[in-house]
Amino acid sequence: MNFKKEPFFDGNSEWEDLGNGVSRQFVGYNSQVMMVIVKFEKDAIGALHQHFHSQITYVASGKFEVTVDGETKILQQGDGFFAQPNIFHGVKCLEAGQLIDSFTPFREDFLKD
């Protein structure tokens, strides 16, 4: 398994196109933690899902309709949410923007072989 070992992130890392107006960029990770920037075009969806990781998300820009554990709120720049392990959560982008996701442990499923 390869871990991102560079100590600094300058924003020039490659973006991975996830399709349907969503792309992501890895800030850094090891086996314990991962930080990812996720870019959304207006009306793009981060489908309702769950995973065993703890997730904290910060809204860096834009406006999002966010659902966590059945509760929905509108979040914008400076807001955030916490998704406990195995809790359903998802987003709809109302105004193009970026989310900063942090996971523990890291999301091995995000990494290509």
Please give the pLDDT value at position 111. 87
- Determine contact, residues 51/31, Cβ cutoff 8 Å: no
Please give the pLDDT value at position 9. 83
- Residue 5, Cβ density class (10 Å: 0-12 exposed, 13-18 middle, ≥19 buried): exposed
Question: Degrees (nearest 5) of the Cα angle 75, 78, 82?
Answer: 65
Name residue 94's amino acid.
L
Please give the pLDDT value at position 82. 98
pTM above 0.85, yes or no: yes
- Closest to 40 (Cα-Cα) out of 18, 58, 57: 18
**One digit per residue, pLDDT tens: the chain, 113 residues?**
456 667 888 888 889 999 999 999 999 888 899 999 999 999 999 999 999 999 999 999 999 999 999 999 999 999 999 999 999 999 999 999 999 999 999 999 998 76
- Determine contact, residues 35/27, Cβ cutoff 8 Å: yes
Please give the pLDDT value at position 12. 82
